[in-house]
Amino acid sequence: MSGLALPPIGLGCAMLGRVDHGLDDAAAIDAIRHAAARGIGWFDTAPLYGAHLSEIRLGAALATITPRPLVSTKIGFDFEAPPGHVVPAAARRSDYSADFAQRSLAASLARLGLARADLVFVHHPEGAADAAAAGTVAFLERLRAAGVVGAIGTGVNDVKVARALLDRVRLDAVLLAGRYMLLDWSGAAFLRECRAAGIAAIVAAPLASGILATGAGNPGSYRYAPAPPTIIARVAAIEAICARHGVALRAAALRFAAANRDAASLLLGAGTRTQIDDTLACLAAPIPAALWHDLIDAGLLDRDLPLPGERPS
């Protein structure tokens, strides 16, 4: 395992930068403080989340939390957008140069009220592995040597993007979103590779950005887009099996993602103290082993995956 010591559970702060869900500053700051009080020791953000508002709100909360939790942010996208809203793809410009990395990190630390970044991710350098290695990573390596950055990683939603960067540089961590969950466990082999190489792998987006929380009857998004009919049908089949065992779909999804011990940490998403409490309750909920075997028998789960209560060899 990597020398990077990550708490087993972290809170992704993308939702905490949104105002379109009716979340104001006070409620967002309260949620962060509540998460820390409940034992969550790591908070992950990015300039892109809420067009800087996530970092601003997290910084305001951090000023009131003792001891300070671990904080991570990201570098990779330049944009102009009003704070508190999703930055549309057309308004984003990827930039993995050292000059931009310097400006981006300095601005992030100012918003967070920090002098040091515990962990900095290169934000999804798709098709830009060479530029990210020579620019952003090289810059961060200098800061790591100087003690201004604790660890360096990449945050991706595609294993190929992570592998391309790892072919060029040594990283401390990889944040993999949406590739190890009940609907897609294609990242399982990559998680094993990271563990064997001493890289801290982080499983993120265990609820598929929404649909594994809301269910098939009121389908939320799937990978940040409307869920297609095939995914809705698959979720309905999983949900029916969960119902037979008296288990909430979101509890099964969270417990499944948390069971893979090739991952160093599970990054959760929540926007309010109620959602945080519900998520932690789901992670603690008892789930009968028969549920997992029913999912396997129905062709909805691979029998070779690590299930809750089981550890990989």
Rounded distance between C-alpha atoms, residue 185 and residue 260, angstroms: 10
From 49, 96, 180, 222, active-site residue = 49
270 Cβ contact partners less than 8 Å away, ≥ 6 residues apart: 11, 15, 31, 35, 276, 279
Radius of gyration for the alpha carbons in the chain, expressed in angstroms and rounded? 19
H-only helix segments in 147-258 = 159-166, 188-197, 211-214, 229-244, 249-258
- Would you kindly state where each structural domain of the chain is located, as residue ranges? 9-213+253-289
Q: Are strands 221-222 and 225-226 parallel, antiparallel or unpaired?
A: antiparallel
Q: Using CB atoms within 10 Å of the CB of residue 256, give its burial: 0 to 12 exposed, 13 to 18 middle, 19+ buried.
A: buried
Indicate if 180 belongs to the active site.
no
pLDDT tens string, the chain, 313 residues long: the values are: 356 899 999 999 999 999 887 899 999 999 999 999 999 999 999 999 999 999 999 999 999 999 999 999 999 999 999 999 889 999 999 999 999 999 999 999 999 999 999 999 999 999 999 999 999 999 999 999 999 999 999 999 999 999 999 999 999 999 999 999 999 999 999 999 999 999 999 999 999 989 999 999 988 789 888 999 999 999 999 999 999 999 999 999 999 999 999 999 999 999 999 999 999 999 999 999 999 999 999 999 999 999 886 444 3
265 Cβ contact partners less than 8 Å away, ≥ 6 residues apart: 6, 7, 8, 9, 10, 42, 200, 202, 203
53, 83 Cβ separation under 8 angstroms: yes
95, 132 Cβ separation under 8 angstroms: no
Sign of CA dihedral 164, 108, 91, 138: negative
Rounded distance between C-alpha atoms, residue 165 and residue 179, angstroms: 17
Look up the CATH architecture of domain 9-213+253-289: Alpha-Beta Barrel (3.20)
Which own/partner contact pairs does 25-30 have at CB distance under 8 Å and 24+ positions apart? 25/57, 25/60, 27/272, 28/57, 28/61, 28/271, 29/57, 29/60, 29/61, 29/64, 30/273
Sign of CA dihedral 171, 35, 38, 274: negative
65, 100 Cβ separation under 8 angstroms: no
Helix (H) or strand (E) holding 53: helix 53-62
87, 51 Cβ separation under 8 angstroms: yes
